[in-house]
A = this chain, B = another copy of it.
Amino acid sequence: MYELTISLDPRAKSPLYEQIYGYIKQEIQSGRIRSGDRLPSTRALCRHLDVSRSTVELAYEQLLSEGYVEAVPYRGYFVAQLEGLCHLDSGRSEILHEQRKISEKKYEYDFTPNGVDLKSFPYNTWRRLSRECLSDDRAELFRLGDPQGEYGLRNAICSYLHQARGVKCRPDQVIVGAGSDYLLMLLIMIIGNRHKVALENPTYRQAYRLFENLSCEVCTVDMDKKGMMVDQLTASGADIAFVMPSHQYPLGIVMPIRRRLELLNWAYEKENRYIIEDDYDSEFRYKGKPIPALQGYDSIGKVIYKGTFSKSIAPAIRLGYMVLPDPLLEEYRRKCFYLSSTVSRVDQLILRKFIEEGFFERHLNKTRALYKGRHDMLLSCLKEMDAEFSVSGENAGVHLLLHFNEGISEEELIRQAAEEGVKVYGLSEYFVEEDRRKKEKGAVILLGYANMGEDKIKEAVHRLEKAWGQNRKQKD
Which residues of A are interface residues toward B (Cβ below 8 A)? 65-68, 70, 80-91, 93, 95, 97-98, 118-119, 121, 123, 126-127, 130-131, 134-135, 137, 139-145, 151, 155-156, 158-160, 163-164, 170-172, 178-179, 181-182, 185, 189, 192-193, 205-206, 209-210, 213-215, 283, 285-290, 310, 314-318, 335-336, 338-347, 355-358, 360-362, 364-370, 372
Given the complex, which residues of B lie within 8 Å of A70, measured CB to CB?
369
Given the complex, which residues of B lie within 8 Å of A144, measured CB to CB?
310, 315-316
Given the complex, which residues of B lie within 8 Å of A66, measured CB to CB?
361-362, 365-366
Q: Is the CB of B81 within 8 A of A151?
A: no
Q: Is the CB of B364 within 8 A of A86?
A: yes
Given the complex, which residues of B lie within 8 Å of A369, measured CB to CB?
67, 70, 80
Residue in B95, B288, B341, B347 whose CB lies within 8 Å of A155: B95
A160 to B89, CA, bound (A): 9
Residue in B85, B172, B189, B289 whose CB lies within 8 Å of A83: B289
Q: Is the CB of A318 within 8 A of B118?
A: no
Known: A67-B362, A131-B131; 17 extra A-B contacts, CB below 8 A, are A67-B365, A83-B290, A88-B358, A90-B159, A91-B356, A118-B140, A119-B139, A123-B139, A127-B135, A130-B131, A130-B134, A178-B343, A189-B214, A192-B215, A193-B193, A316-B344, A318-B342
Residue in B67, B89, B158, B316 whose CB lies within 8 Å of A142: B316
A130 to B370, CA, bound (A): 30
- The distance from the CB of A306 to the nearest CB of chain B, in whole angstroms, is 15
The 6 closest A-B pairs by CB, nearest first: A86-B164, A67-B369, A67-B365, A142-B314, A178-B342, A84-B290
A368 to B80, CA, bound (A): 10
A84 to B362, CA, bound (A): 14
Given the complex, which residues of B lie within 8 Å of A172, measured CB to CB?
98
Q: Which chain B residue shows the least CB distance to A130?
A: B134
Q: Is the CB of B156 within 8 A of A355?
A: no
A336 to B192, CA, bound (A): 20
A89 to B339, CA, bound (A): 32
A289 to B82, CA, bound (A): 10
Q: Beyond A139-B118, A155-B97, is A179–B340 a contact (Cβ under 8 Å)? A: yes
Given the complex, which residues of B lie within 8 Å of A364, measured CB to CB?
86
Number of copies of this protein chain within its complex:
2
Q: Beyond A81-B286, A143-B315, is A156–B209 a contact (Cβ under 8 Å)? A: no
List 10 contacting pairs A-B, 8 Å CB cutoff, sorted by A.
Answer: A83-B289, A86-B160, A88-B164, A90-B355, A93-B159, A126-B134, A130-B346, A144-B310, A213-B336, A316-B344
Given the complex, which residues of B lie within 8 Å of A119, measured CB to CB?
139
A214 to B86, CA, bound (A): 36
Given the complex, which residues of B lie within 8 Å of A82, measured CB to CB?
365
Given the complex, which residues of B lie within 8 Å of A142, measured CB to CB?
118, 121, 123, 314-317
Given the complex, which residues of B lie within 8 Å of A80, measured CB to CB?
365, 369
- The distance from the CB of A284 to the nearest CB of chain B, in whole angstroms, is 8
Q: Is the CB of B88 within 8 A of A155?
A: no
A330 to B20, CA, bound (A): 48
A171 to B98, CA, bound (A): 8
A224 to B11, CA, bound (A): 61
Q: Is the CB of B215 within 8 A of A215?
A: yes
Given the complex, which residues of B lie within 8 Å of A370, measured CB to CB?
67
Q: Is the CB of A340 within 8 A of B317?
A: no
Q: Beyond A93-B155, A181-B339, A368-B67, is A316–B289 a contact (Cβ under 8 Å)? A: no
Residue in B145, B159, B343, B365 whose CB lies within 8 Å of A68: B365
- The distance from the CB of A234 to the nearest CB of chain B, in whole angstroms, is 27
Given the complex, which residues of B lie within 8 Å of A335, measured CB to CB?
209, 213
A367 to B93, CA, bound (A): 25
Residue in B206, B316, B345, B367 whose CB lies within 8 Å of A143: B316
Q: Is the CB of B143 within 8 A of A118?
A: yes
- The distance from the CB of A116 to the nearest CB of chain B, in whole angstroms, is 8
Given the complex, which residues of B lie within 8 Å of A289, measured CB to CB?
83-84
